[in-house]
Structure 1
Amino acid sequence: MHLFSYLALLAAAHGVNAQLVNPNKNTFGNVFNFWTKTTDGWDLTRGNATNAITLPLPDPRGQVMIQPASSALVIIDMQNFFLVRDNPNCRFITKNNLSQHPDLGGDPLGRAIIPTTINMIHAFRAKGMKVFWTNWGLTDFDLISMPPAFFRGFSSDGTSATSFGSDMGTIQGNISVGRKLMRGSWNAQPFGDLLDEQLAGVAHGSDFYFNKNRLSGMWGTSTPMQTFLQDNLITTLFFGGVNIDQCVWGTLLDSYYKGYDVILVDDISATTSPSAATAMVDFNAALDGWRANSTDILPALV
Structure 2
Amino acid sequence: MKLSGYLLIFGAACRAAAQLVNPNNNTFGNVFNFWTRNGDAWDLTRRNATNAITLPLAHPAGHVTIQPASSALVIIDMQNFFLHPDLGGDPLGRALVPTAIDMIHAFRANGMKVFWTNWGLTESDLLSMPPAFFRGFSSDGTSATSFGSDMGTIQGNISVGRKLMRGSWNAQPFGDLFDEQVEGVANGTDFYFNKNRLSGMWGTSTPMQTFLEENMITTLFFGGVNIDQCVWGTLLDSYYKGYDVILVDDISATTSPAAATGMVDFNAALNGWRANSTDILPTLM
Q: Residue 282 of structure 1: which of 241, 246, 265 is its match?
A: 265
CA contact (8 A) 1:21 1:29 kept: no
Determine the C-alpha separation between the residues in 2 that align with 1:184 and 1:10.
51
Of 67-76 and 157-166, the range deviating more from structure 2: 157-166
CA contact (8 A) 2:222 2:246 kept: yes
1:60 equivalent in alignment to 2:60: yes
The 1:216/1:20 distance shift into structure 2, 3 A limit, reads: farther
Aligned to 1:162: 145
SS at match of 2:204: coil
1:223 equivalent in alignment to 2:206: yes
The 1:16/1:59 distance shift into structure 2, 3 A limit, reads: farther
TM-score normalized by the length of structure 1: 0.89
Amino acid at match of 1:207: D
Determine the C-alpha separation between the residues in 2 that align with 1:9 and 1:189.
54
Aligned to 2:30: 30
Determine the C-alpha separation between the residues in 2 that align with 1:71 and 1:119.
17
Determine the C-alpha separation between the residues in 2 that align with 1:13 and 1:168.
61
The gaps in structure 2 that reach 5 residues or longer are none
CA contact (8 A) 1:238 1:263 kept: yes
Deviation at 1:13, TM superposition (A): 6.8
The 1:213/1:7 distance shift into structure 2, 3 A limit, reads: farther
Deviation at 1:37, TM superposition (A): 0.3
CA contact (8 A) 1:240 1:268 kept: yes
Amino acid at match of 1:297: I
1:133 equivalent in alignment to 2:116: yes
Aligned residues: 281
Determine the C-alpha separation between the residues in 2 that align with 1:107 and 1:181.
16
1:246 equivalent in alignment to 2:229: yes
Q: Residue 173 of structure 1: which of 130, 150, 156 is its match?
A: 156
Of 43-52 and 9-18, the range deviating more from structure 2: 9-18
Deviation at 1:272, TM superposition (A): 0.8
Aligned to 1:92: none
CA contact (8 A) 1:245 1:277 kept: yes
Deviation at 1:31, TM superposition (A): 1.3
Determine the C-alpha separation between the residues in 2 that align with 1:82 and 1:281.
19
1:188 equivalent in alignment to 2:171: yes
SS at match of 2:81: helix
The 1:216/1:12 distance shift into structure 2, 3 A limit, reads: farther
Which runs of 4 or more aligned residues in structure 1 lie more than 4 Å from their structure 2 counterparts after TM superposition?
6-13
Amino acid at match of 1:83: L
Q: Superposition RMSD on alpha carbons, in Å?
A: 1.9
Superposition pairs for residues 283-298 of structure 1, below 5 Å? Answer: 283-298=266-281
SS at match of 2:228: coil
The 1:10/1:160 distance shift into structure 2, 3 A limit, reads: farther
SS at match of 1:246: helix
* Identical positions, percent: 85
Aligned to 1:79: 79
Write the deviation string for residues 181-233 of structure 1: whole angstroms up to 9, x where unpaired: 00000100000100000000000000000000000000001000000000000
1:255 equivalent in alignment to 2:241: no
The gaps in structure 1 that reach 5 residues or longer are 86-102
Of 55-64 and 232-241, the range deviating more from structure 2: 55-64
Amino acid at match of 1:138: L
Deviation at 1:271, TM superposition (A): 0.6
CA contact (8 A) 1:16 1:31 kept: no
TM-score normalized by the length of structure 2: 0.94
